[in-house]
A and B are shown apart, each in its own frame.
Chain A
Amino acid sequence: DMKVTQMPRYLIKRMGENVLLECGQDMSHETMYWYRQDPGLGLQLIYISYDVDSNSEGDIPKGYRVSRKKREHFSLILDSAKTNQTSVYFCASSPLPGNSDYTFGSGTRLLVI
């Protein structure tokens, strides 16, 4: 069963702490994404990764960075988390450049207090 796995599912962090969100996929997809979902705003693209060490900013990259050292694994890092980064974070993958056939993870619900 092809899937995108996100860990953890739920996370509570204090303002100023570092946060690591992890995403894995078992489909050998080249392209991976991090989105955040906020009520009334839909999904907003944070970062896109075209392959190992080939990452590009999305629409809202400020306050985030990413790491992709293996094709199957894509991490989202928040250095010194802020309360306005409280959100649900979704990872997704797609097979080829130019292919919008996304597979989404189940999301990580992050609360920054």
Chain B
Amino acid sequence: GEQVEQLPSSLIVQEGASVLINCSYTDSASVYFPWYKQEPGKRLQFIIDIRSNMERKQNQRLTLLFDKKTKHLSLHITATQPGDSAIYFCSASRMPNYNVLYFGSGTKLTVEP
């Protein structure tokens, strides 16, 4: 089945810094890649997504880059704030069963004031 890997597993930055979270997948049939954020003790919340026919998507301070050839995604967060501290999950869904998401192991981001 699909394997989704994320690096790094954890990250500590100072407020205002930019961060990059990398994600790779194995199945070329994967076509949709939502990302989720999980604050401590809270539920996962959707933050941004991209489809395989796109290369780039931006939502305020989040930019998601997608390289279909290398099966690689990067989430760039600019001007980080302490409220960005959370675990970030990359996920992938593939044809024909779009329902099922395969998750990476998560990247724990800590933003220090």
Contact = CB atoms under 8 A, between A and B. Distances in A.
Contacts, number: 57
Contacts of A107: 43
Interface in A57-113: 58-59, 90, 92, 94, 97-102, 104-107
A101 B47 CA distance: 11
Contact of A101 (B4, B43, B45, B46): B46
Contacts of A105: 43
Given A104-B43, A104-B45, A105-B43, A42 B100 contact: no
A100 B43 contact: no
Interface residues of A, number: 27
Contact of B99 (A35, A43, A44, A94): A94
Given A102-B46, A104-B43, A40 B9 contact: yes
- What secondary structure prevails in chain B residues at the interface with A? strand
Interface of A: 4, 31, 33, 35, 40-45, 48, 50, 58-59, 90, 92, 94, 97-102, 104-107
28 contacts: A31-B99, A33-B99, A35-B103, A40-B105, A42-B6, A42-B106, A43-B44, A44-B103, A45-B100, A45-B102, A92-B44, A97-B98, A97-B99, A98-B98, A99-B98, A100-B32, A100-B49, A100-B93, A100-B98, A100-B99, A102-B34, A102-B101, A104-B36, A104-B43, A104-B44, A105-B43, A106-B43, A107-B43
